[in-house]
Amino acid sequence: MTVTRRNLLRWGAAAAGAVTASGLLAGCGGAERRPVPPLSPGQDPWRRFAGTTINFISENTAPTAAIAANLQPFTELTGITVRIVNLELSALVQRVALDMASGTSQYQVIYADPYQVLAPYSAGLADLREFIEDPSYPVLEGGLEDFIPTQLRAAGSFEQEGPVYALPYDCPTMIWQYRADLFAAHGARMADDLGFDPTPGPDRTWDEYRRIAAWFTDNVDEVRYGTGHQAKQHDSLMCDFSNVLWSYGGDYFDAGEQVGLLGVRDPGRCTLDSAEAIEAARFYDELLAVAHPASRTWDWDGVGAALRAGEIAMCPNWHEFAASNEEAFPGAMGYAPLPSGPTGSANMYGGCGIGITANASGAERGAAWLFVNWATSRGTQLDNLRSSAGGGTPTRGSVYELPEVVRAEQRPSELPNMLAGPAVRAAWEPDRIGLRPKIPMWNACDTAVFTGLSQMIAGQQDPETTMRGTARRVDQIVARGWHA
């Protein structure tokens, strides 16, 4: 993946001021909403809003790059002009906050990050059932049931079943990425030296992963270090650590599945001071001690580049880096779910949806839905897979069943991101998918987490002090609300 993802920064004062203490938008609904023009008898529902111009604000992601490079089919189908604004996520969030608070709708279609847009701003997003259930619009192909269920809930819902605020648009997920050629060349000797089968997958433990990494560093000349990590003081560090945290039985809050899947406004007390979380931090500190030293300066792009440059033999990273991996080492890469801790394998899901601002009105409101419908359709998702400008992998189950896509999971592949398909689908199993807290104040909590972890791996404090201090800081943030 990507690629610039999940670059989560603290809210700017302007964005924070756009909401009330309860998290509801102060200006939402302030402007009078114009009615959507009705469908004329005999009119093509796709041409209903021809001549309309709408704006789509998105993080600069792979699917948006692919769509931006190939908007002509949508324009020809609908007569609608779409202007795409690509931004780093933190800048996107601030613009969305201000736009919603103003009561206008400069951006009709919104890349709705679950943690920075959906959770704090669900009141400012339209419930898409308004369009899905209206027979005057084109049918949503395959219905909501065609989207991968966990992704639909994690990227599209907040607090309760029912309302759908976004349709799943991308689905980056962290998996084990490795040089299969090096494992094949050295696997037998490694197994003899280590005393276990080193084949990557969820049957391996994190401790075995650490030992494999150290073995590569000590015994293989083709790479400098066995593993690398996205351990920069940045959101990437929280993502990297979370895989270990969950696999050790730790979590950020009680009822972690509910907090991560549907989301809540008040998650309760932080549980990072639990024995399981402290043990996970202790292991993570040990893992970073054998990793490439530059790991402390890398986010996902940095560790991905190191893997492609032959600096490391393996790493946890977002699955959508598969295509660029294959360019660097054709036929030599492998993909698997992440190793297991005492409670199993956990694989961070980082997907987002696209939705419609509740303030959109008139023809722009209907045109926005036609774009959301088209942008998440089977055909568009397949075109994104084929695109040389971007890509991403599908969020619809039916796309994975297409013969072309099934074939692409084997080499030679014309859709190289699909080489990670079997591994990532295994990672999406309910007992393996990792979901960070979907709460309005997550951004500030995230900053507290990666700040504490950065101090730990720099040797400034021990794991227990780190986890207990981070838990106290998170509790303070939650108690004050999401402005913190």
Residue 1: both structure tokens together: 């993946």
How far apart, in whole angstroms, are the C-alpha atoms of residue 66 and residue 349?
A: 21
- Check if the beta carbon of residue 5 is closer than 8 Å to that of residue 90: no
- Provide the pLDDT for residue 1: 31
Q: Which CA distances in Å does 478 have to 169, 236, 320, 326, 378?
A: 29, 22, 33, 43, 39
pLDDT digits over 392-434, tens only? 789 999 999 999 999 999 999 999 999 999 999 999 999 999 9
Q: Is the dihedral of CA 332, 337, 338, 341 positive or negative?
A: negative
Question: Which burial class, exposed, middle or buried, applies to 18 when counting CB atoms under 10 A from its CB (0-12, 13-18, 19+)?
Answer: buried
Q: What order of strands is seen across the sheet that includes strand 352-356?
A: 81-87, 53-59, 109-112, 352-356, 167-170
Q: What letter represents residue 115's amino acid?
A: Y
Q: What letter represents residue 323's amino acid?
A: A
Task: Evaluate if residue 30 carries a pLDDT over 90.
Answer: no
The b-or-e profile of 302-319 (16+ CB within 10 A means b, else e) is bbbebbbeebbbbbbbbb
Mean model confidence pLDDT for the chain: 91
How far apart, in whole angstroms, are the C-alpha atoms of residue 96 and residue 110?
A: 8
- Provide the pLDDT for residue 316: 98
Question: Which burial class, exposed, middle or buried, applies to 239 when counting CB atoms under 10 A from its CB (0-12, 13-18, 19+)?
Answer: buried
How far apart, in whole angstroms, are the C-alpha atoms of residue 338 and residue 455?
A: 25
Task: Evaluate if residue 15 carries a pLDDT over 80.
Answer: no
Task: Evaluate if residue 17 carries a pLDDT over 70.
Answer: no
- How many Cβ atoms are within 10 Å of 101's Cβ, its own excluded? 22
pLDDT (average), residues 228-250: 97
- Check if the beta carbon of residue 56 is closer than 8 Å to that of residue 105: no
The answer to whether domain 13-171+350-401 and domain 174-348+434-480 are alike in fold is yes
Task: Evaluate if residue 247 carries a pLDDT over 60.
Answer: yes
Domains of the chain, by residue range, sit at: 13-171+350-401, 174-348+434-480
How far apart, in whole angstroms, are the C-alpha atoms of residue 406 and residue 130?
A: 34
Question: Which burial class, exposed, middle or buried, applies to 431 when counting CB atoms under 10 A from its CB (0-12, 13-18, 19+)?
Answer: exposed
- Provide the pLDDT for residue 271: 97
pLDDT (average), residues 117-129: 96
pLDDT digits over 287-302, tens only? 999 999 999 999 999 9
- Provide the pLDDT for residue 119: 95
Confidence of residue 31 (pLDDT cuts 50, 70, 90): low
Q: Give which of 86, 133, 127 is closest to 107, Cα–Cα.
A: 86
Fold of 174-348+434-480: D-Maltodextrin-Binding Protein; domain 2 (3.40.190)
How far apart, in whole angstroms, are the C-alpha atoms of residue 402 and residue 71?
A: 23
- Check if the beta carbon of residue 58 is closer than 8 Å to that of residue 108: no
- Provide the pLDDT for residue 481: 76
- Provide the pLDDT for residue 104: 85
Confidence of residue 242 (pLDDT cuts 50, 70, 90): very high
Confidence of residue 26 (pLDDT cuts 50, 70, 90): very low
How far apart, in whole angstroms, are the C-alpha atoms of residue 258 and residue 262?
A: 6
- Check if the beta carbon of residue 166 is closer than 8 Å to that of residue 156: yes
Q: Which CA distances in Å does 445 have to 10, 15, 100, 269, 413?
A: 9, 17, 23, 12, 41
How far apart, in whole angstroms, are the C-alpha atoms of residue 271 and residue 445?
A: 13
CATH assignment of 13-171+350-401, among 3.40.190.10, 3.30.540.10, 3.20.10.10, 3.10.20.30: 3.40.190.10
pLDDT digits over 456-471, tens only? 999 999 999 999 999 9
pLDDT (average), residues 231-251: 97
- Provide the pLDDT for residue 258: 84
